[in-house]
Amino acid sequence: MHDIRQIRENPAAFDAAMARRGLSSLSEEILALDAARREKIAAAEDALATRNKASKEVGAAKARGDEEEFERLRALVAEKKAEIATLEEEAKAEDAKLRDLLMGLPNAPADDIPDGDDEDDNVEIRRWGTPREFSFKPKEHYEIKAVQDGMDFETAAKLSGSRFVVLSGAVARLHRALGQFMIDTHIDQHGLTETNTPVLVRTEMMEGTGQLPKFGEDSYQTTNGWWLIPTAEVTLTNIVNNTTISESYLPRRYVAQTQCFRSEAGSAGRDTAGMLRQHQFEKVEMVSITRPEDSEAEHKRMTECAQNILEALGLPYRTVVLCTGDLGFGMKRTHDMEVWLPGQDQYREVSSVSLAGDFQARRMNARYKPAEGGKPEFVHTLNGSGLAIGRTLIAVLENGQEEDGSVTLPACLHAYLGGKTRITAEGQLV
């Protein structure tokens, strides 16, 4: 959420930032609501001062026997009490309008983020690895012979509908091994704290990280009001919801592997084949909570954490900076890691690492106490996939496929697979 004081101080800069997001000038509407709210609050404070003064004088008028003055003052006290209640209710209504408006506005992009309309305008900043040259036409993951018995979309459709999958045998074990490898690497090499969180959250938690109120259709809500998390960003970031922590507590670096749930609203017809775009999937999520002055460096560090996983797996990838038209609602800066999928002959997103600045912290009232004293300040929050397990599974299968239908597996996974190094064309780990 945006700082109303900054909008008051520099409305032109705010409008310019929103224009980069494709929104028309909003500062005039925002400041009009703010002015109305402040006017009601000031009037209520004046009425309260008048009431308090009259209340003190009532007793004195009674004591000296001035019945007329006593009745006038008593009537004034009652009048101001009613006026204060009305003004406070009106101020509350104006405040709710202002909050609703601000809650629906996206974060301001960082100054150096490229302008653009969509993903075609993203800017590549790194490329690692050389895509393998195949002596045969590589298949998509679900077409590989070694995979076909272990990736069952028909049974999943019977159980749950479209965009679900049942994994079994070697494929299920490989999926599990990938998640375990990612978690271990983040803990042992990157210094993250392993965390196990719920997948059901309250509405306030979804509001805190920006999924609500604007994007409710993208997530699932239970009949009793809980929301299924679209990513562990929601739970990990909200650990500091409505909390003031000491500076010595920062940075906090969390990692969790969870089920994630997304309705994929608006994606009808996209990536319907295979398991690239599912309603339910697993992801290893990283979240950092930092001081404002540390957040840019932390974003670079988290990007490297995601890249390290891909490099350990030997998967060619590229890193892009998202342009203003592709940037997520709550983010100032995002780096996407796109892994090479030879079956599709293109790079596809496998991780997004994002800096929200104080945008989420303001929504969830998350602050820290500076060590040298002074007023509490808002923390900065960051999140990133480290990685999406299903999409990484796709990349491992497609990049490791052989002409006979078998799959050669990355060396870093062998220990997680009982020393086994490949999946045969018959679907067996050997």
Per-residue pLDDT tens, the chain, 430 aa: give them: 999 999 999 999 999 999 999 999 999 999 999 999 999 999 999 999 999 999 888 888 888 888 888 888 889 989 999 999 999 999 999 999 999 999 999 999 999 999 999 999 999 999 999 999 999 999 999 999 999 999 999 999 999 999 999 999 999 999 999 999 999 999 999 999 999 999 999 999 999 999 999 899 999 999 999 999 999 999 999 999 999 999 999 999 999 999 999 998 766 666 778 999 999 999 999 999 999 999 999 999 999 999 999 999 999 999 999 999 999 999 999 999 999 999 999 999 999 999 999 999 999 999 999 999 999 999 999 999 999 999 999 999 999 999 999 999 999 999 999 999 999 999 999 9
By CB neighbour count within 10 A (0-12 exposed, 13-18 middle, 19+ buried), where does 11 fall?
A: middle
Dihedral sign, Cα of residue 105, residue 124, residue 284, residue 131: positive
> How many C-beta atoms lie closer than 10 Å to residue 389's C-beta?
25
Position 268 scores a pLDDT of 64
> How many C-beta atoms lie closer than 10 Å to residue 280's C-beta?
16
- Left if phi > 0, otherwise alpha if psi is -120 to 50, otherwise beta: which for 161? left
Position 266 scores a pLDDT of 63
Q: What is the pTM of this model?
A: 0.93
Dihedral sign, Cα of residue 254, residue 260, residue 261, residue 265: positive
**Cβ atoms of residues 357 and 332 within 8 Å:** yes
DSSP state of 114: P
CA-CA distance, 339 to 318, in Å (whole number)? 7
Q: Is the peptide bond before 213 cis (omega within 30 degrees of 0)?
A: yes
CA-CA distance, 296 to 241, in Å (whole number)? 22
Position 74 scores a pLDDT of 85
Query: Catalytic residue positions?
Result: 262, 277, 349, 352, 391
Three-class secondary structure of residue 411 per DSSP = helix
Pick the closest to residue 252 from 356, 370, 382 (CA basis).
382
